[in-house]
Amino acid sequence: MKKLLCLIVAVVMVLTLSGCSLLRYGFMDVEDIVKLPDDEMTVALLMQLGEQDFGSLNEAQKVVYTATALELEVLNGGVVQFLSNEGNGCAPYVLEALEKIGATEHLALLQDALEQNNVDLADLSAFITEDVEEFSKLYDQYDFDAFDHAYETLPSMPDYIRAYIRAHELDF
């Protein structure tokens, strides 16, 4: 959760430096957030979700947080990074989240990759590391390269996320 929040903060800082003032979103009511254009709405919601503990989120918030975390982590460092960073958070919920947003291709690809690597989302203790060297070994231990490369060719995850938010506006 902290790593996603750091990533969101970094994006906000870059956008702010480039002339976009997104800091105001942290102070907006949800009623006003859902009136924003899609991209701004998503960033604003994520800024608010990133400040909360995953367990305290409602169902719709968990779905959006999880799908976003998967997208950001996989594009940054692959599914190993997602499982490592979110193993104690949203990772066990990822298949359910993908199903709920309708990302069926992402879901099938991830299910196959987890199956091929004998990864049980109910027990991600092997992915929870505090040491960079230990974390690096996970890439040798698990072969998610095919998933990571194929993921980039799938339909846009942000499109699924935005559509889900729009369909569940009242849940935020």
pLDDT at 26: 55
pLDDT tens-digit map of 27-59:
666 677 777 776 677 777 777 776 678 888 899
pLDDT tens-digit map of 74-100:
999 999 999 999 988 899 999 999 999
Crossing angle of helices 38-49 and 59-86, in 10° steps, is: 70
- Total domain count, the chain: 1
Please say if the pLDDT value at position 118 is more than 70.
yes
Q: Please, which pLDDT band fits residue 170 given cuts at 50, 70 and 90?
A: confident
> In three state form, how does the secondary structure of the chain look?
CHHHHHHHHHHHHHHHHCCCCCHHHHHCCHHHHCCCCHHHHHHHHHHHHCCCCHHHCCHHHHHHHHHHHHHHHHHHHHHHHHHHHHCCCCHHHHHHHHHHHCCHHHHHHHHHHHHHCCCCCCCCHHHCCCCHHHHHHHHHHCCCHHHHHHHCCCCCHHHHHHHHHHHCHHHC
Give 169 or 151, the one with higher predicted confidence: 151
Please say if the pLDDT value at position 149 is more than 70.
yes
pLDDT at 19: 43
What is the domain range of residue 63? 2-171
Please say if the pLDDT value at position 17 is more than 70.
no
What does the block give as tokens for 11?
């994006």
Amino acid in the structure at residue 6: C
